[in-house]
Amino acid sequence: MSGIQDRSIIVTGSGSGIGHAAAILFAQKGAKLTLADRNASEGERVLEEVRAAGGTAQFVATDIADPAQVKAMVAKAVETYGRLDGAFNNAGIPNVGKRTHELEYSDWQRMIDINLSGTFYCIKHEVEEMLKTGGGAIVNTCSVAGLVNVPGTAEYTAAKHGVAGLTKAAAVDYGHDNIRINAIAPGTVYTELFVKACEVNPQLEEFCKGVHPIGRFSQPSEQAEAALWLLTDAASFVTGIIMPVDGGYTAV
């Protein structure tokens, strides 16, 4: 079995953007999904969309900054489907748009709690279950900000560099246990958040197109396709990488 047919897979941040696209794509490929998002109404909406298309899924309202909620999310996946085969740890928040000295302590702490610590909690509890059943695959959502500096995003860049390091460290820890751990590093993605940002700053759309050598930004579905590949056996010898899905942003 080289795809994800009948595999139990968690998708966090499934209520919008990349997570929403991944939920739809993974369902189309036959996965048994546990969808998670802290926004219950958005999460339930995506759940109904997946089920209406014939997919198998459940939704668990989860704030990944709370380790108890993450543990419960993973437990629910195992309770429903009998095991955990894969996870796409995609949930996260954007930066607040301040320079380093302008950041409030609360801005910094919220970013670390969700984007970095939340990813750690997910990996920890997912790995605990995968060790019981002989392995699995995990994909984290990093960012180009986890590979290079993006000006004006100190707290986000720090957290995503942390996700990159955590991904590599965990991959080494569990390579002999048949657990592969990788990350995707998206460039600009045309999500709901990006659309709102462009409404505030009309120049942002053209600027973001310009910094990607490919001449555009990505669609959420393109990021979901990259995550899908890393979850399948087609990537069976790939672990510990932070894969840019960035239209050449980090190649400049």
Domain boundaries of the chain, sorted by first residue: 8-188+219-245
Query: What's the rounded Cα separation, in Å, for the pair 192 and 94?
Result: 12
The better pLDDT of the pair 204, 161 is held by: 161
CB burial of 215-249 (b: ≥16 within 10 Å; e: otherwise) equals eebbebebbbbbbbebbbeebeeebebbbbbbbeb
Distance, CA of 50 to CA of 177 (rounded, Å): 32
Paired tokens of 211: 């910094």
Smallest CA-to-CA distance from 91 within 132, 31, 38 is with: 38
Of 67-81, 180-194, 199-213, the range with the highest mean pLDDT is 67-81
Q: Quick one: 8-188+219-245 is in which CATH superfamily? A: NAD(P)-binding Rossmann-like Domain (3.40.50.720)
CB-neighbour burial class of residue 15 (10 A; exposed 0-12, middle 13-18, buried 19+) = buried
Could you give the percent of the chain with pLDDT greater than 90? 88
pLDDT at site 1: 45
Rg from Cα positions in the chain:
17
Which token pair is 108? 């910094």
- Among candidate residues 121, 156, 190, 249, the one labeled active-site is 156
Burial 50-73 (b: 16+ CB within 10 A, else e): beeeebebbbbbbbbbbeebbbbb
* Residue 50 · residue 57 · CB < 8 Å: yes
Average pLDDT over residues 198-209: 83
pLDDT tens-place string over residues 28-85: 999 999 999 999 999 999 999 999 999 999 999 999 999 999 999 999 999 999 999 9
Mean confidence (pLDDT) of the chain: 96
Whether 156 is a known active-site residue: answer yes
Q: How do residues 218-231 score in pLDDT, each as one tens digit?
A: 999 999 999 999 99
